[in-house]
Structure 1
Amino acid sequence: MALTAWKIFLQKWTDRRAEKLAGDWDGTQEVEQGLVAFQTLLEYHTDIAFDFFEAWPLRNIFVVPSDLPVVLLHQEKLDFSATPERE
């Protein structure tokens, strides 16, 4: 949506510029190239921001300390100290 608004704005600007220069200048291709470059830059920075956002929860929210014993309900009464002969 924002890129469409930029495209309309730049297209109007190039039309006014072409009128001032007596129609010798056609900036359509330059506008298209500029918009493609802007969109590429925007996608690049958005990708970096999402990479940082993705790494943050993995380091902070979903981390389980290594010294924390995790025992599920069905494992509560298991005895891991029993030898195979005693079982």
Structure 2
Amino acid sequence: MGSAEYAYSDLSDLSINGKYAKKTTEQVGGSHYKNKKIEPIDYIVSNDLNFCEGNVIKYITRYKEKGGIEDLKKAKQYIDFIIANLELKGNR
């Protein structure tokens, strides 16, 4: 399975505080996000999600169109990373 490619808009899409003011990406390769109302990367960036949180969103969003159970296992692995990190910090 190949990875999707994205075309990025220029930095004029950024607001002054660094938040994305509008959609900044368009999927060029692959078809696993084409039927979605929002690209996972736009949701991830707009909500300031970290790497692990972003990967959960990515894999959950695409599992039906791309990786099936394997993508669900990947999402679960990233959720486990998040839980382990919170437990190390003493958070519940």
Q: What TM-score, normalized by structure 2, do the two folds share?
A: 0.30
The structure that has the greater radius of gyration is 1
Q: Which structure has more helix as a fraction of its residues?
A: 1
TM-score of the aligned structures, taking structure 1 as reference length:
0.31
Greater fraction strand: 2
